[in-house]
A and B are shown apart, each in its own frame.
Chain A
Amino acid sequence: MPEPIPAAYDSKIEGNVIFTRLDAAMNWTRKNSLWPMPMGLACCAIELMATAAARFDIARFGSEVMRFSPRQCDVMIVAGTVTYKMALAVKRIWEQMPEPKWCIAMGACASSGGIYRSYAVLQGIDQLLPVDVYISGCPPRPEALLEGLMRLQRKIEGERSFIAQKPALKRELSEVLG
Chain B
Amino acid sequence: MTGAELLDSLDRLFRGKILSRIEFRGETTFTLAPQDLREIAQFCRDELSFDYLLDISSVDNFGCEPRFEVVYALYSLKLGVHLRLKIALSEEVCAVDTVSDIWPTANWHEREIYDMMGIKFTNHPDLRRILMWDGYPFFPLRKDFPLEGKPSEMPDVAFSQVAPMEGGPFVTVPSTATTKDREPRARRPDLNE
> Counting CB contacts under 8 A, is A84 at the interface?
yes
B147 interface residue per 8 A CB criterion:
yes
Whether A88 touches B158, Cβ cut-off 8 Å, given contacts A117-B169, A123-B163, A123-B164, is yes
Residues 123-166 of B contacting A (Cβ, < 8 Å):
131-133, 138, 140, 145, 147-150, 156-161, 163-165
Separation in Å of the A35 CB from the closest CB of chain B?
28
- Give min CB distance, B146 to chain A, whole Å: 8
Residues of B close to A107: CB separation below 8 A: none
The interface residues of chain B, by DSSP majority, are classed as loop
The residue in chain A whose Cβ has the minimal distance to the Cβ of B162 is A119
Tell which of A117, A119, A127 touches B150, judged by Cβ atoms closer than 8 Å: A119
The answer to whether B147 and A123 touch across the interface, beta carbons within 8 angstroms, is no
**A167 → chain B closest CB, angstroms:** 33
Min CB gap B138→A, angstroms: 8
B104 contacts partner chain A, Cβ-Cβ < 8 Å: no
- Which A residues are CB-close (under 8 A) to B3? none
B168 at the interface (CB under 8 A from A): yes
Which B residues are in CB contact (< 8 Å) with A85? 131-133, 158
- B159 pairs with A119, CB closer than 8 A: no
- A85-B132, A113-B163, A123-B163 known; A118-B157 Cβ under 8 A: no
Q: Is B164 a contact of A117 with CB atoms below 8 Å?
A: yes
- Number of chain A residues close to chain B: CB under 8 A: 14
- The answer to whether A88 and B156 have CB atoms under 8 Å apart is yes
| B167: nearest chain-A partner, CB-CB | A117
Q: A121 contacts the other chain (Cβ, under 8 Å)?
A: yes
Q: Does A120 contact B (CB under 8 A)?
A: yes
Q: Which residues of chain A from 90 to 141 have a CB within 8 Å of any chain B CB?
A: 113, 116-123, 127
A84 in contact with B158 (CB, 8 Å): yes
Q: How far is the CA of A116 from the CA of B138 in the complex (A)?
A: 18
Residues of A with C-beta under 8 A to B132: 85, 120
In the complex, chain A residues 77-92 whose Cβ is within 8 Å of any chain B Cβ: 84-85, 87-88
A85 and B134 CA atoms in complex are apart in Å by: 10
Do the beta carbons of A120 and B149 come within 8 Å of each other?
Answer: yes
Say whether B169 contacts A84, CB under 8 Å. Answer: no
CB distance from A138 to the nearest CB of B (A): 15
Q: Could you list 8 A-B pairs, sorted by A, with CB under 8 Å? A: A84-B133, A85-B132, A85-B133, A87-B158, A118-B149, A119-B138, A119-B145, A119-B160
Ranked nearest first, the 8 interchain pairs of A and B with the lowest CB-CB distance are A119-B149, A117-B163, A84-B160, A119-B140, A84-B158, A85-B133, A85-B158, A123-B163
For the complex with contacts A85-B133, A117-B148, 17 further pairs of A-B residues with Cβ separation under 8 Å are A85-B131, A88-B158, A88-B159, A116-B163, A117-B163, A117-B164, A117-B170, A118-B148, A119-B138, A119-B163, A120-B132, A120-B140, A120-B149, A120-B160, A123-B161, A123-B163, A127-B161
Residues of A at the B interface (CB closer than 8 Å) are 84-85, 87-88, 113, 116-123, 127
